[in-house]
Structure 1
Amino acid sequence: MIFFRQLIDVNPFPIYLKNEQGKFVFANKAYADVQAIELDELITTGYCESDFSYERDLEVIRSGVPVTIQEFYKSDTGGFKWYNTVKMAYQQTDGSVYLLSISSDITDFKEKILNDSDLSEEKEQIFVDLCREIRTPVYSIIELAKQIRHTNLSKYQEEKLNSVLTVTDNILATLNQALEYNELEKSNEVELEFISFSPVTILRDTVNALISKAKEQGIRLEFRLNHTKELLVQGDPFRLSQILLILINNAIKYTYEGNITVSLKTKEKSESSVYIEFCVEDTGIGMNEEKAATLFLQEEPPNTGDSPGFGLKICKRLIESQGGMLWFDSVPGLGSRFYFTIPYITSNQYTEKHQPEAVLSQNDLKGLNLLLAEDNHVNQLIAISHLEAWDVLVELAFDGEEALKKATDKKYDLILMDIQLPKMDGIEVTNYLRSEPNPNQETPIIAFTANTIQQEPEKFRSLGFNYSIFKPYQTNDLHKIIADNTGRNRAYTSIATASHGKGNKLYDFSGLGSLADDFQFIQKMQRLFIETVPDQLSEIRAAIKQEKWDAVAQMAHRLKSTYSNIKVKEATENLKNIERFANARSSTDKIENLLFKVMDVTDQILNAFLLELTKEEY
């Protein structure tokens, strides 16, 4: 046995053994080196922070089905290695089950394949050009159909027009996913952001962006949060949004009646990391076992017949590149459930990008006519999904030259301009529009740029832009910027927080945990506040005048928690002092002034709540 262990330990191939709980019970030095951890530490603790195979290993143990995968590891020095890994479960005589993982270095082989691609590059370029050539007229058909939909149509005409939109939307989605799939296939690794964000916010924004599309097909789209509080993580919110968009769009495409539910829950969690599981469940047509078995096979021609095609392969690649796993179950005629987990590093604070979630009313931006100049089809998909959810009319330009042509031919309410466009960059286009007579010489132009380009807002203004927004962006940031620059910024108030004075929060529902995301609950709480708090303050004031200090203290104590729950710190502190002074029968002359301060803040909260409730009614 000692000789066997020594033989494995000197083996250059990374090898490890795990028990049924996913804990390392044995590993060799080659594997420890790949994970950049001391071997003794790995065996002693049984766990590794960067073990992104944890969920996959448990699945192999549960199923007993061996798997062979290709894994990509990046070293601290910036280099990388590819491994072909075989994972298999085996059962001992006492019934205990272990997982054995053996990896072999295939870096040289992968590099040779990538370097011997001269012949295929020309074919790939033809494929890309063809997709783009088809995409432009298809998008024009979609835009024309959407404009016709706003005219007076008979029910029969509306049904036929919706059929046209469904078909063209599917064609456009297929073309965009084909281009994305092609890019992923020829790249060594998926480019990922690493910033602080809230998965709950990304899920909610994505669902909200597609609710209208689902509703048009008679489907109810909703999200469910199975967690105790909103979690902040470090990772790529843009890729998460892309995955959710593809899975939800697929669910809409194959569901003809019923519901689609998108959910989130935390799985394995430690002080520094967490596995988050997402699920997209539909009541659609489902799949039989034969179809399900071929869904992720590379040999299957993508998008054949009724196959979800490129989209799922893109999702699988994006999820696995983040150390996660995608799986599903499906019943013909009853529907499907697609699950995926992604491991994230937990974050203790928001980045400056993270803002309170705002109440976005479609009517705020309804009818605006925008030009989106963006060449990245993933960015297009995400931006257009949000804009159309707000009833904004969007025209798309795929490069700088097309953006310039469209902007010189037609007046827009606002232009979203990517900086790094092909053929002619966004700065050149904007410079021309500002310097030469054209319909959009004074039109607000917003710079769309990657977050890696850290230029000051003043720099963009000096180049002719009205404002700038960094990608990946928060949905409410985009909504607010468009509203501010088109005169649609009517009392832009947040449901989670509202501003008061110079950047201070008037109130904040985030202390309510998961209930802060329950819009109906928040509305009930707002109505209850409006109906009860003013009367309670009047009762306190009457008791003060009658010098009934015990009653004053008791009422202040009860009311204190109402303000504390929504984090109104000033009112909470003033009520604490009212309670303290009333109990002590001291400084009673200050009590009424403290109450007036509480009433002033309350008036502002009441106005904000009434505004939110009125906006929802209309």
Structure 2
Amino acid sequence: MLSVLLGAIGIVSIIFLAIHVARDLRLLNSASSDNVQWTLSQAEVEFVEFQLHLATLDAADPADIKMLRRDFDIFYSRIRTLSQSSLYADLRKQFEFFDSLTNVERFLDQTVDEIDADDAGLVAALPDMRERADDIRKSVRRMSNSGLNFFARDSDLRRNSVAVTLMQMAFGVTALLVALLLLSLYLGVLNRQNIRRRSEVIEASKRMKVVTSTALDAVIVANAEGYILDFNTAAEQIFGYTAQEALGKELGTMIVPDQYREAHEAGMQRMRDQGERRVVGKGRIKLEAKRKSGDSFPVELAVQSATTSEGEIYIAFLRDISTQVEAERELVMARDRAMAGEKAKTDFLATMSHEIRTPLNGLLGNLTLLSETKLSAKQSRYIKNMDTSGKLLMSHISDVLDITKYDAGKLRLRPIEMDISLLLQDIVDNQSGAASANGTTLEWSWITAPVNWIRADRDRIQHILMNVIGNAVKFTHDGQVVIQVETNQQAGQAPELQITISDSGIGMTEELQKQIFDDFMTGDSSYDREVGGTGLGLGIAQRFVKALGGRIDVASNVGQGSTFSIRFPIEPIDAPDLKIAQRKPVAQASGCAILLVEDNEINRVVAREMLTAAGHLVTEAHNGSEAVEIAQDIRFDLILMDISMPILDGRGATRAIRAGQGMSANTPIVALTANAMAEEQETFLSDGMNDILTKPLVRKDLLTVIAKYVQSNEAQANPPETASAPVATRYLDELRDTLGVDQLQSLLDRYTQEVERTISAFSDPAQRNLPEIAALAHRLAGSSASMGAMEMRAGFLAIETSAKADDQVRTDEWIAGLPAIWARTRPLLQAERRTAPRTRQ
């Protein structure tokens, strides 16, 4: 009711005020209109005064003439006001006023020069001036009347407009008051709702207090000055203070450790002065807190702020994470132990590799020396079998090391320029003997356009393909193994090479397919008994494929064969410019002074025998310290340095020799090591060594590295021999001893058919496609080498070389001479022994 009464009083007051405002506006509007109308009337009055003065002028009286000029100037000024003032802009738009004003201005323009003339001139112009003044009198009158009429009408319109505006204002104010009245009613409703909500907030606050008091995390509320306003039950349990002890106390002194107190107080002061917040609203952070007992412990803290009637407050949520931190610490310790164990495993494998390779070096080296003595055919076969087993053992050691390097993330790729087609052909040639022994055909081809030259890790790709193709050959009898190669490329991605190896062998079960890439997985026991193996090959192949950025898959059915699909990205490159050169045996340096540094007696004997047999002078040292002393006084052509030795190891000895000024300070040093870890081998080179030979030592590798680093002062006494016979009969004897007559005859028959088909194909002009000729000649060169047909091998290599050089004429010449070579070779390829077996001297 009070709000209604107040509204009514407001309405009455506004109506009363509106009436008075309207009246004041009318009075103000009348004064303005009167002033404008007075100006119009005064213009006519001033013209009349000028005209009367003009009629009664005493020409002899200069004062009277001056008064006439004044009257004219006043009238002239009045007319200029009417023609230029903005107050009369709307009036000048009226035709009657504008026409009259134009006539008056014309009169003024005609008269002004006469008025401004001297007295004599003015007196002479008086008659004419009086006549024009009489003529213009009507225009002045009409101008004044039209102006007064216009402003009278305009004043009426203005008054009516103001009255209407005021009435509208009155109605608007009235409506506003009504709205205010309704608003007051609505506010009353809201007030009742606020009362209800206030009670709800109070209840919610009570519930929140129950929640915070039962929360597992400490909840501490503090004001901007850092004094505690609330301290829940969990905070009492965590920090050891009661709520009564904590309330009103400074937060820093209660829970902040002494060593962090200064930083805490600086942060609070910075937040009060500059508003800088480094913790508030930043989520969870970890720091240390202090209990009542003074013990520090880790907590997880989250701080939020809120604005209240008492100012800004800060709510801190703290959780005791002592147990969590301890668990994390134990987890880190467990991780460190695991990493240490992994390193220990790697170190163990490296050590075991060295320890196994060292006696293996002695074993294989002595077998090499033994094979050069006079032996019977049976003894030669036994030694060859022992050598094969030793090399197989070395392969197993390398496989284990490769797995370790991959799993430790240390397997690094070494991409080089390579011919993938040539690699595949070499692998097929290598496996063709085993395939023939199983009665299996082995062939390969491109499905898409060949992409021969790529940049990739040749060693890894060779390892992958040798494992997969070798398995396909081992498990396939009287069947076929087909290798298909193609390239695929999707938009925006690198081209991908896909190699599919399909065989018609025994196949695999679904369960075996899921496990085939696991380490030490060799299938069932029948597989083990039939083909043997450690089961590491496909596991390593899968690791290498992944390292190349690709994948390997298998699909198989029992009794129907298996298909392995290998895919990895490649970088195609242009074929490099190949310099055509004849293949010559590596030159060997003779009569060199070599310092052999080796602590193992057996290895030392093996290396010494190999070196002395090649005509070199060998000086021995049992450890690195002896080597440094000897190298100080004697100049050697080459130093062969073992790595692991007592007193001073090979690395330290190399650094000492290089740092000294002895006779052999600049002599090439080659490491002899059983350590196959690439990372450690790189450190050997950084110590000043020139090259590395991995144990077990192979005569060919040993003599090659000597020839590489030693320039012999003597001419070669015996130049390399060239094959004078079409067939290496000694090699045939070895094959006969190894395979037996029947198996050798089967291989020779297949080789004979293959050669005769190739000669026939070469003689067909329609088959003269140089790339195909080169590929076929390369394959036959490998087969010829396997059978000991050295002259045929040389012929096929010449055809391959000229075909790859796009030399059609030279290719045709070699093809034309191939039948004559075959005619000399064919009679010598006999499975039965025709001469007594040769013994090795």
TM-score range relative to shorter protein? 0.3 to 0.5
The answer to which structure has the higher helix fraction is 2
Provide TM-score, normalisation by structure 2.
Answer: 0.32
- In the superposition, the TM-score normalised over structure 1's length comes to 0.41
Larger Rg: 2
